[in-house]
Structure 1
């Protein structure tokens, strides 16, 4: 982050500690069981998201614009889980609470970039469902591979730019009192609040970033489904409405899993015990990457068909190999 400081002021000296101390889960009774649970969640997340990515890559029928976004979501979930959970387990279960200053900034960058990309990816999938239901005859023209790749690339640029700016602003802060981060990772909000110099730029940018990465995507998704609901109300038969709505159930489940815990945290987070808040935030971070692939496998017909085809092919291959060995 030296380039950031150089660009903003060469003659300013900031007090950067050698390390931070992550103390979020310390003092919570029987917390070791929770670390085992986190490890289980992480393993399921890795296996599930790798399975979804493999199915989309191997099955030609799934190489559509919609599944480009699904593939990207699985990739983001895989990277986000791998960036967050192993380090959390290392910090708390193996008692390594100290993390070097620069490593903490890198940790912050990867965790938040993946978190924002989850939100943006839900917007891409929402747009896909909106066009598919409102303009079914023009879907092939309006939702193309080029458009989806461009949309996802734009979202990556936005997420990286926002997180990089927030991380750069942290380097403009001096830490002359506490270096203890009362969270389960290098939490941006906890970090800039510990600063002993003016943290107004970080505070303002944090609020702006939250609006851009959470509330605007949520508003777009809610407006999209309001429009979809209105359009479905004009369909003559109930069967057609149900059939059209079923194509949205997987995406709606992902939206609920991602945004409901965030809304709960923002609305009642200040009124609950600090330990409960940290547990809630950690679950908000690790549950969506685990549940997203499970939801797509269970609720999406194309994924289920592809999964069955792969299982059938694997079974037939094993039988063929056994026959060759016996001969």
Structure 2
């Protein structure tokens, strides 16, 4: 279909990792599938523990539940398509589907950032204002704040899609990435990207740096308050309550900040290195988060052990009964 001498793009092609040798595509697809499987299994375990153990029905675990759902959705948005590219040589994605994927990538990334803000807020109140914690963070309050994060995040992602979708796309339809994002799509538009790129960058900075500023403030306040505790054991206990969240937040923010900083100070990456870094900070945290929570969060660890113990004890009892008969 043509308009003048322009060809209208009806589908996009995802290159994945441009420099990947064909003989390694099978290994890469297997790794991506394994990451997706671990992500689903780990986060589904968190959801099951929360659903079956009432002792986990606390504000902090309601926040973790929101992060778990967001992680599952983010991985499902990105991984099946790029895995199918290498398994079935299916790298094409329709015009509309690409924008749908772009919407969910930016939407869920923003949701994650707001949820980390809530996690930091929870620990800030728990350690800096413990007497007011139960009053300020009721279950209803957490529900409202969590739903607000999901609703408010829609605005920025919708704006990106609404402004980018009508642009004229012609000639090249190759996106050098593993998924559709705003930069990858709008660079293919037959128009000046400046009026669209700058607002998108501003939104990204608000969604990323706004919550990050409060997170830094909250953990600085936490450290100051912990240092005031005379008892060493009390200090360790207080820090252990927020160390899990600090690890998870660091996995999310540090690589992102590094990529943004590097691009602004003139550090250049090859396309493959850049894509690998983006895939690592987009997909590794959702896979690692459940493991961190189950190992570091006391209530979560005890709940998991309780479930595993209930499964192993009947098996041992059954084996013992068979041996005595």
Q: Give the Å deviation of 1:26.
A: 3.3
Deviation, structure 1 residue 207: 1.2
1:272 to partner: Cα distance: 1.5
1:25 and 2:22 matched: no
Return 173-182 or 61-70, whichever deviates more. 173-182
Q: How far does the alpha carbon of each residue in 1:159-181 deviate from its partner, in whole angstroms, 9 at most, with x for none?
A: 22211111111113111232111
2:303 is equivalent to residue 306 of structure 1: yes
Which deviates the most, 287-296 or 36-45? 36-45
Q: 2:232 aligns to what? A: 238
The answer to whether structure 1 residue 118 and structure 2 residue 115 are counterparts is no
Pairing 1:48-59 to 2, within 5 Å after superposition = 48-59=42-53
TM-score, normalised by the number of residues in structure 2: 0.90
Displacement after TM superposition at 1:116 (Å): 1.7
| Counterparts of 1:24 and 1:265, CA distance in 2 | 19
Residues 21 and 309 (structure 1 numbering): CA distance in 2 closer, same or farther, change over 3 Å? same
3-state DSSP of counterpart to 2:88: coil
* Aligned-partner Cα distance in 2 for 1:255–1:280: 17
8 Å CA contact retained: 1:26, 1:92: no
Is contact 2:18–2:272 with CA below 8 Å preserved after alignment? Answer: no
TM-score by length of 1: 0.90
| Partners of 1:16 and 1:257 in 2: CA distance | 40
- Give distance in 1, aligned partners of 2:68 and 2:223: 27
Correspondence for 1:149: 143
Distance 1:106 1:125 in 2: 28
RMSD across aligned positions (CA): 2.1
Q: Is the 8 A contact 2:12 2:175 kept in 1?
A: yes
Answering whether residue 70 of structure 2 is matched by residue 47 of structure 1, we say: no
Q: CA deviation at 1:240?
A: 1.3
CA distance in 2, matches of 1:144, 1:209: 30
1:217 equivalent to 2:211? Answer: yes
Residues of 2 paired with 1:172 and 1:234: CA distance? Answer: 57
The gaps in structure 2 that reach 5 residues or longer are 1-5
Are positions 1:249 and 2:246 aligned together? no
Is the Cα–Cα contact under 8 Å of residues 15 and 174 in structure 1 kept in the other structure? no
Return 37-46 or 243-252, whichever deviates more: 37-46
CA distance in 2, matches of 1:322, 1:301: 31
Give the CA deviation at 1:284. Answer: 1.3
Would you say how many aligned residue pairs link Structure 1 and Structure 2? 314
Aligned to 1:62: 56
Aligned to 2:3: none
Unaligned stretches of 5+ residues in structure 1: 1-13
Contact (CA 8 Å) 2:105, 2:181: kept in 1 or not? no
Task: Please tell me whether residue 172 in structure 1 is matched to residue 166 in structure 2.
Answer: yes
Conservation of the 8 A alpha-carbon contact between 1:91 and 1:97: yes
Distance 2:38 2:281 in 1: 16
CA contact (8 A) 1:23 1:181 kept: yes
